[in-house]
Amino acid sequence: MDSGTTQSDPTETQASTPVTIGVLALQGDYAAHAVALKEVGADAVLVRSVAQLAGLDGLIIPGGESTTFLKFLERDGFLADLAEFVRTKPTFGTCAGCILLADEVVHPAQASLAVLHATVERNSYGRQIDSSIEHAATALGGDPLEMVYIRAPRILKVAEDVEVLAERDGFPVLVRQGDLLAATFHPELSDDRRVHRLFVEMVMQARQARA
């Protein structure tokens, strides 16, 4: 007998509920990432402790200084838990975050989370004074994307399972590998939200796949 009630579809509920994405808030312009996430419909959490990783659907590792990041993470016992998170949940690394994700870091070599199948060269485009704003076509479609470079690294090479979404001077600057996204520039410093929107879509798809 029809009770007059309807059962909700769990998949539809998942899709309509905003994803919760953390932004590692140890250094860098994490606040700008949080604003960008909110503008594209995600809930943003500033992450400063291991406990805050629980319950997140995804994570952004922002720019800053990669060696300083490592010191903070190692000092607080954060590194092992973060490594486990990035192996299992969608993660987006920008600038220093891109360096931390790479499985090989050069100039000079340093430790990393070693999940992105790429070789990344630190400070490849020079010092702070050599920062620049470029515009380039991307696989995201639409007009050329504004890219803000600040002491940017260079992705020297990527494995076959890494999709190159944008390039600068023949080198990848925006790449995707499964649930990982990495950029050598700072999309949070632009008004163009296409990169953050892509990451939110990746996080939503991953959450639905786990449901």
**Residue 129 pLDDT > 60, yes or no?**
no
pLDDT above 90 for 2: no
Mean pLDDT in the chain? 90
Instruction: Give me the pLDDT at residue 211, please.
Output: 85
Tokens 């890219």 sit on residue: 147
Nearest-CA neighbor of 56 among 158, 182, 179?
A: 179
Rounded to two decimals, the pTM is 0.91
Burial class (CB within 10 angstroms; exposed 0-12, middle 13-18, buried 19+) of 89 = buried
The mean pLDDT of 180-197, rounded to a whole number, is 97
d(C-alpha 150, C-alpha 133), whole Å:
9
The Cα–Cα gap between 202 and 106 comes to 29
Higher pLDDT, 120 or 5: 120
pLDDT at position 146 over 90: yes
For residue 196, what are the CA distances in angstroms to 42, 58, 99?
10, 12, 18
Residue 9 has pLDDT above 80, yes or no: no
Top pLDDT among 143 and 64 is at: 143
Query: What residues are labeled active site?
Result: 95, 186, 188
The residue among 37 and 7 whose pLDDT is bigger is 37
Q: Give pLDDT, residue 130.
A: 58
Q: How many CB atoms lie within 10 A of CB 114?
A: 15
Report pLDDT digits (tens) over 49-91.
999 999 999 999 999 888 888 888 888 779 999 999 999 999 9
When mean pLDDT is compared across 11-15, 57-61, 84-88, 99-103, the lowest value belongs to 11-15
Residue 90 and residue 20: Cα distance in Å, rounded?
Answer: 11
> What are the residue boundaries of the structural domains of the chain, listed by start?
17-210
Alpha-carbon distances, residue 6 vs 9, 17, 24 (angstroms) = 9, 19, 41
pLDDT above 60: residue 5: no
24-50 pLDDT, tens digit per residue, is: 999 889 999 999 999 999 999 999 999
The CATH superfamily of 17-210 is Class I glutamine amidotransferase (GATase) domain (3.40.50.880)
pLDDT of residue 74: 86
